[in-house]
Chain A
Amino acid sequence: MIGVISYLAFFATMAGILAIAVLGLNLQWGTTGLFNGGVVAFFGAGAYGTMILGGRPEPGQFGGFEAPFLLAVAGGVGLAGLVAWAVGLLTLRLRHDYLAIATFGVAVAFESVTRNAEWLTGGAKGLRGFPRPFEAAVGDPFLYGLLFLGAVLEALGLAWWGLERLTASPYGRALRAIREDEEAARAIGKNPARLRLQAFVVGAMLMGVSGALYATFYAFIRPQDLAPILTFQLWAMQLYTGSIQYILIGLVIVLMLLWRPEGLLPERIGRRTPNRTAGTAAATASKEATTP
């Protein structure tokens, strides 16, 4: 019985971690209408930033500062925000597909750096993390799993609560206003470019949190992890072609879109955790991104 709970806890932990990134995406696309095709870049910045700051030193490798856990995470999230700020300044005047491909390009470039800059990121073999915080102190793996899940859910709840407050506030209305009609928003004295950039950076920082927790949980991050997540989870599956189950997954998605285009569970993502199977995750992402 404990085994089942432990496994469910593991499962829920992963789902919770990814849900934080989905919240970030929801702020960017759902609220502000920014088509971010490069979620992995910000997720990755959070993960690598955390690992570099908090990791143990290794020969020939930059980083390994063994920073305290929260400081490392803060650094990772800060890095995600910084990357988003720079990317946003450059690309946010693009619209629709153009923005998507530009941000996607940023993600590819980011992945390239993590794969090739061995001195900084460990290259393709990845970056080894630090022991999970308090794991040694807790001792019992089962208890630790539950505690970790608790921490993740707390972070998720906090992010959700914060976003809920944000979107309900006049600020959130301003974001929605520029999504619906930029000219009108400008006419009532809003600065669309600045609001858009702010929403983009905040969303990206949530993706950074998700990345930081992800890397902490696995105690390991590598470029390959930066392919298969969230909106692009399916994409990564395509790399490993050849088994009938992928056909089935693809079929499920197509059928679902044919018969239930509004999604299986037409409610908001913040109140549930996304399933980790590719089909539902993609559907979740699609559903989420289409929710106004």
Chain B
Amino acid sequence: MIQNLADGILTGSVISLGAIGLTLIMHVLRFANFSYAELLGIGAYAALVFDRLLSALAPALAAAFRPLTLTGSLALATVLAMALTGASAVAIDRMVFRRIRARADPLSMVFASFGVALIVRNLITLAFGHRAQLYSNDIAFAEVVSRDPMLLIKPGQVFVLVAAVVLMLALHLILTRTTFGFALRAVAENPTLAQVAGVRLAAMVTAIWLIGGALSAAAGVFYALTNHLSPALGHNFVLPLFAATIAGGIGSVYGAVAGGFPVGIASGLSLMILPSGYTPAMPFLIILAVLLVRPHGLFGEARA
């Protein structure tokens, strides 16, 4: 019970991080973006490449910060990957979504996003192959936090949680303390009104893709750090990310943060009431329950 809760919170932090950008995109651009989760994959693989490059260039960086398996080069690589993924997100928007936005309805966007997801995932497969890859072959053993009740935590998971929270706090400060953040929230609140008030929508959309891409890259790296990389990495997160976004309420950054945790915890707790084969359904049942009580999600508002 305690163990499942702890694990759920740790998994939830990755989901929350990924869901932040998705919720903004879904709200401002008004479409369900099925390719968004692929940004996690782009980020994780970009970090892998940067990590290999950096540790080859500067072997000193390749030493791990014990007890973590995280190395200096990977930490740097993560920052680079965040930048690169943000840029790729903007590039994908320019190449595909912006053109469709100008001409067709949201549903075309949804199907275009399916296509984009396929392309991204297959490009990753072509470049890196099907095989699972790891940042580090070491297995970081879990520390026994408590024996009764049994609670095991991996150091990497704690790092991920802390890093995710730091990133979220940074975003919170940007959103609440800067003019840019104010403009961003205005756009998220009501794009039309924000434009009337002199906010440049196109620039804000770019900013949202950048932020979303960067946070997703971090989420992808954090996930791969405690698990492994495979071309399906992003795909496996499509549903959890949507679940977190919807449960939290589309358009609400805080909702996305709050929505990630129940989704993370749900699959763990489901094992206590249902056989293990049913875990994939559990997050959706949670969402269903949330929506029955709050039809627009935890923090969402009705929109026209």
Residues of A within 8 A of B (CB): 90-91, 93-95, 97-98, 100-102, 104-106, 108-109, 111-113, 115-116, 234-235, 237-238, 241-244, 246-247, 249-251, 253-254, 257-258, 261-262, 282-283, 285-286, 289-290
6 closest cross-chain pairs (CB), A and B: A105-B284, A261-B104, A250-B118, A116-B277, A253-B115, A112-B281
Is B250 an interface residue when CB atoms closer than 8 A count as contact?
yes
How many Å lie between the Cα of A91 and that of B289 in the bound state? 10
A-B contact pairs, 13 of them (CB 8 A): A94-B291, A95-B295, A98-B250, A100-B32, A104-B284, A109-B284, A116-B277, A241-B232, A249-B118, A250-B117, A257-B112, A282-B111, A286-B107
Task: Assess whether A91 is in contact with B115, with CB atoms less than 8 Å apart.
Answer: no
Chain B residues whose C-beta falls within 8 Å of the C-beta of A111 in the assembled complex: 281
User: Dominant SS at the A interface?
Assistant: helix
Count, A-B residue pairs, CB within 8 A: 138
User: Dominant SS at the B interface?
Assistant: helix
Is B246 an interface residue when CB atoms closer than 8 A count as contact?
yes
Is B119 an interface residue when CB atoms closer than 8 A count as contact?
yes
Kindly identify, within residues 1 to 40 of chain B, every residue whose CB is under 8 Å from any CB belonging to chain A: 26, 32, 34
Known interface pairs A95-B295, A100-B32. Does A241 touch B121 (Cβ–Cβ under 8 Å)?
A: yes
Task: Assess whether B242 is in contact with A101, with CB atoms less than 8 Å apart.
Answer: yes
Total interface residues on B, using CB and 8 Å? 50
Q: Mark B272-304, 1 if CB is under 8 A from A, else 0.
A: 000101101101110110011001110000100
Is B108 an interface residue when CB atoms closer than 8 A count as contact?
yes
Smallest CB gap from B276: residue in A:
A116
Task: Assess whether A283 is in contact with B111, with CB atoms less than 8 Å apart.
Answer: yes
The one of B125, B126, B235, B277 in contact with A112, judged by C-beta atoms closer than 8 angstroms, is B277
Smallest CB gap from B109: residue in A:
A257
Other A-B contacts than A234-B118, A261-B104, 9 sampled, CB-CB below 8 A, are A94-B291, A98-B246, A105-B283, A108-B284, A112-B278, A242-B122, A251-B119, A254-B116, A257-B104
Chain A residues whose C-beta falls within 8 Å of the C-beta of B281 in the assembled complex: 105, 108-109, 111-112
Q: Mark B113-151, 1 if CB is under 8 A from A, else 0.
A: 011111101110110001000000000000000000000
How many Å lie between the Cα of A282 and that of B121 in the bound state? 18
Smallest CB gap from B125: residue in A:
A242
Chain B residues whose C-beta falls within 8 Å of the C-beta of A238 in the assembled complex: 117-118, 121, 235
How many Å lie between the Cα of A109 and that of B296 in the bound state? 21
Smallest CB gap from A261: residue in B:
B104
Chain A residues whose C-beta falls within 8 Å of the C-beta of B296 in the assembled complex: 98
Q: Mark B79-119, 1 if CB is under 8 A from A, else 0.
A: 00000000000000000100110011101101110111111
